[in-house]
Structure 1
Amino acid sequence: MKHSVISAFTFVAFAAFASAGQAQVVQTQHGPVHGHESGDADILSFKGIPYAAPPVGELRWKPPQAVQPWTAVRDCQDYGPISLQRKNWEKGGQSEDCLYLNVWTKKNFEDAKRPVMVWIHGGGFTQGSGNQGMIGGDGLAGKDVVLVSINYRLGALGFMTHPALSAESPHGVSGNYAILDQIAALQWVRDNIANFGGDPDNVTIFGESAGGTSVYLLTATPLSKGLFHRAILQSPWLDPVIFRDLNKETDFGPAAEFDGTEQTNRLFGENETDALAKLREMPAEELMEKVKQRWPVATDGYVFPQRPPEIYAAGKQHKIPTIVGTNRDEGTMFAGRQGFKNMQDYRDALVERFGADADRLIDFYLEDTNKDLRKSAVQLITDGWFVQPVRQFARAMDDSGSDVWMYHFTKPVWGWMGAAHAAEIGYVFGKLENPSPEDAELSGAFMNYWVQFAKTGNPNLEGSHEWPAFTTDGDQHQRMDSTIESGSGLRCEACDLLDEIRGVEMKVAE
């Protein structure tokens, strides 16, 4: 890569650190950035640093491109825009120009080599950002890590697939732009984080929900090799139906490109010969309204040479230490959206999803078919979207020789939702509002485990409850609650049943 402002030698040998009261100027490969004191006076934050060129105009639905270098000091007091999404438009701060990241680091970081933790936000790949208040990085940065959070393209802007997009790609692919954004952010970390006191050879990626899914995908794709060295997956969303082949129909659904063709036919008619140009001319806000926002992760032969579960089954993923876990009541956030009015409604939904195996699931989850319908739906979502595929992932990592630790968060902190999806995030970041002594202690345990893992590749440290490593035979996990204790066989009967029903997911494609 050519640098018109500074040479590679100048960047490495003479990176400038200029103190300025409560601020600090750091030289990056693209230009100088000016940080400010965070909420913690010992922490500096650098917000809104661009890691790739704005993906607008002709760069819409293109892999991320290099940032144009700058010479004047860039003030990094405020977050950059977040990816366009249908939620909270009225609050502003959204833009198609969204490829920014944030860095938190302790002061006096010159020549430090602190572990780096890169947070990837969740939101179903359709909403969210790395700017959310709950994940302000000063809490973790105060424990001697450098914390990075990132934004990436969402919805149709991040995942749209279409034959015309594939035709213009040198790799013959489309979709997965959000994953390529995340890889570009990790490349920025590799190339720049040393000047913020971070060690580019000790990077941990971690994320929750779709952020956990992203960690799963980054650990599978060969394109991210060497960019990170440990991984933490918090409640990764791994329902098998989210992975679809780019250009052929399989048991998991139609070709991913079919979705794009369906959208352009609906908008412009089947005879339109330049639908892609029309889509690129469309204002991004209008695109968000007119084009669907939930898209599959495409098995494209490039970013993902095989279906991600098949990559893991074949042992072709990156061999790195891993923490992975779930929350007891994941399904409460989603079951209400299912709208099951009665038993027949529920059964019809299961038949559509699981075919002939629907009755087996009803027999397992409903002892009395006229009672606890919603409770059954909550548990099946918890098991089917999260617990069973997490166990499958942990087994694949263990089978490949990687160290794995599994947790299960069970503290009922969100009223009727219980130990709900995402309820652990505030504990991990030390961002609980007016925590009780009990909650503060649990948050401290989460943070200590996470930081120790980032530092050493093992979450265990002196003074903490010992966390046994997961093995396929032992099936161990750590229960995170007011009392932390070890267990085994988490939802094992349900997981065994779902393994059997989803047997195809355990096999490598011919």
Structure 2
Amino acid sequence: MIKGLLHIAVCVSLLGAPMTLCAQDLVITVEGGQIEGTVDEEGVVVYKGIPYAAPPVNELRWKQPQPVQSWQGVKKCDKFGPASLQGGQTKGSFYWKEFYQDGNPEMSEDCLYLNVWTPEVGKKDNRLPVMVWIHGGAFQNGFGHEIEFDGDAYAKKGVVLVTLNYRLGMCGFLAHPLLTAENGGKGSGNYGLFDQLAALKWVKRNIEAFGGDPNNVTVFGQSAGAGSVQALISSPLAEGYIQRAIIQSGGGLGGIISTKSLQDAETVGKAMWDASGCTTLEQMRAYPADRFPEVMMNYMKQQKKFMGMPYSPCVDGELLNASVYDVAMQDKELDIPYMIGYTSEDIAPEQMRKAAVDWSLLLEQQGHHPAYVYCFRRDLPGEDMPAPEGGFGDMKGAFHSSELWYMFGTLDKCWRPMEVADYELSERMVSYWTNFAKSGNPNGADLPEWKPCTKADQHIQELDVNK
């Protein structure tokens, strides 16, 4: 197959009858102007680095995302956009070896870009299901074009996949009394979540041009991405933009990721900047973004105890009116189909199991369809690195994030010596995930039955290789 921009016709066949595509066929119109995609080695049409909002820089730092800026001519979307500013991965660390051996990506405050993989570009009548992926990374690291997040396997199953970058760390989750006052008292701190919501709104308005159905969108995420999904389905602002949701290694009822109160988030944010001698918004917005880690370090040096996750969603009174736990208990989450799960050697796997099961039972008790719950148990082949002292999770076996290679169908990009049984498990999982996106039910022909988790049968689908 031809990789890169097409300047000659090429035939691809993904969903049935072959179609002929030339460079002009890859030019479509979205908000802001025209864009041109590429055809990758698998024959899937890919658009990389599409801006979905204005660059959140200068006076837009710590403000909700603004409409995308228009451009002239055809923007060639053949390169991923910058990741949000972050610390990145340390060479030689466990997760560096697992996912980031290609090195850290380009990083910038100007990071509001998304990517689309589609098997049916320009065919608006096809209305394929859409899946929007929110990456993890403790709200401080990660990006939507990590090596394991390739969308070919989903496109081949008839799904349009969208991955995105959103503001992280200080850029995305700083709450501060001055920012709340500037926002008319409506709160501050959830800029990264507002970015994700802006991406979902962009999908609603633009995805038809890629062959997708704007009224059949599944949002899914892992770790901090799972916490993001839980926050979004707990927000009235997301009504109409999400039709299904998958929550991986986070979320549920009483899970490992919680929402702070606005007061607590503002207290930490103010103390961070006070420790660096910045007491006005003018000073804060003039501060070089590449020195943001110094601001947090100056604050941490003054602390005498572990501060937990320094950045995370808060109850800002605008996007979130209550904690995600309270929203669930009050039966105010989006009434949509759900999948939720964890890995067997996850961060606090027993807490994750209980959070997933308890949440599903609560949904049933409230008169909703219970969730489909899973546990990924595959002990990945290959020698694991020893867990660092003070690290989280076991970092062996089915460790936190280990399912990502499998549910994205990207085992061929992994350094591990995968076996035939691993590819069989991956195919099963990709089918479950994409079936759920199509119908709200992961089951399908030639798949082991996956029952919802109910009071009568607290079923957890075991995802492992066939022994």
TM class by smaller structure: 0.7 to 0.9
Query: In the TM superposition, what are the counterparts of 1:175-194 in structure 2 within 5 Å?
Result: 175-194=189-208
Please, which of 292, 295, 298 is the counterpart of residue 290 of structure 1? 295
Deviations 1:18-37 (A, max 9, x none): 95349600111221110001
Higher helix content, 1 or 2: 1
The percentage of aligned residue pairs carrying the same residue is: 38
Name the stretch that deviates more: 299-308 or 196-205: 299-308
Q: How much does 1:397 deviate?
A: 2.7
Distance 2:377 2:236 in 1: 35
Q: Which amino acid in the other structure matches residue 266 of structure 1?
A: A
Q: 1:240 to 1:143 in 2, by over 3 A?
A: closer
Letter in 2 for 1:32: Q
- Residue pair 1:410, 1:479 contacting (<8 A) in 2 also: yes
Contact kept, 8 Å, 1:23 with 1:44, in 2: the verdict is no
State the aligned residue count.
Answer: 405
Q: Which residue of 2 aligns with 1:104?
A: 117
Q: What residue is the counterpart of 1:409 in the other structure?
A: 376
Q: Equivalent residue for 1:474?
A: 457
Q: Deviations over 1:401-456 (max 9, x none)?
A: 13410011111116450011111111111100363210111001001111111111
Structure 2 unpaired stretches of 5+: 1-19, 91-102, 298-308, 385-395
Measured after TM superposition, the shift of residue 214 of structure 1 is 1.0
Query: What is the correspondence of 1:214-233 to structure 2 with a 5 Å cutoff?
Result: 214-233=228-247
Secondary structure at the aligned position of 2:356 is classed as helix
Asked whether the 8 Å contact 1:406–1:477 carries over to 2, the reply is yes
In 2, Cα distance between the equivalents of 1:198 and 1:78? 22
- 8 Å Cα contact 2:377-2:464 kept in structure 1: yes
Partner SS, residue 476 of structure 1: coil
Q: Distance in 2 between matches of 1:65 and 1:219?
A: 22
Choose the corresponding residue for 2:284, options 279, 286, 300. 279
Relative to structure 1, the CA distance from residue 22 to residue 39 in structure 2 (aligned partners, 3 Å threshold; closer, same or farther) is farther
Rounded Cα–Cα distance in structure 1 between residues aligned with 2:121 and 2:132: 21
2:344 corresponds to which of 291, 313, 328: 328
Given that residues 250 and 256 in structure 2 are in contact (C-alpha distance below 8 angstroms), is that contact kept between their aligned partners in structure 1?
A: no
Structure 1 partner of 2:227:
213
SS of the aligned residue for 1:124 comes to: coil
Counterpart pick for 1:391 among 357, 367, 372: 357
Calculate the TM-score normalised by the size of structure 1.
0.76
Q: In the superposition, relative to structure 1, how do residues 278 and 481 fare at CA in structure 2: closer, same or farther (>3 Å)?
A: same
Matches within 5 A, 1:75-114: 75-88=76-89, 91-107=104-120, 109-110=122-123, 111-114=125-128
TM-score, scaled to structure 2? 0.83
Structure 1 runs of 4+ with >6 Å offset = none
Q: Which whole-Å CA distance do the structure 2 matches of 1:240 and 1:204 have between them? A: 23
Q: How does 1:15-26 map to 2 (within 5 A)?
A: 20-21=22-23, 24-26=26-28
State the superposition RMSD in angstroms.
2.0
Cα distance change of structure 1 residues 47 and 176 upon mapping to structure 2, 3 Å threshold: same
Structure 2 residue 435 is matched with structure 1 residue 452: yes
Q: How does 1:125-204 map onto structure 2 within 5 Å? A: 125-204=139-218
Tell me the CA shift for residue 395 of structure 1. Answer: 2.6
Counterpart selection for 1:431 from 402, 410, 413: 410
Cα displacement string for residues 40-70 of structure 1 (whole angstroms, at most 9, x for unaligned residues): 12x1000000001001111111000001122
Distance 1:207 1:240, change over 3 A: closer
The 3 A distance-change label for structure 1 pair 277 and 242 is farther
Q: Which runs of 5+ in 1 are unaligned?
A: 1-17, 248-254, 332-380, 485-510
| Larger Cα-atom Rg | 1
Structure 1 residues 240, 23: CA separation in 2 closer, same or farther (over 3 Å shift)? same
The Cα of 1:462 is off from its aligned counterpart by 1.5
Aligned ranges 1:29-44 → 2 under 5 Å? 29-41=31-43, 43-44=44-45
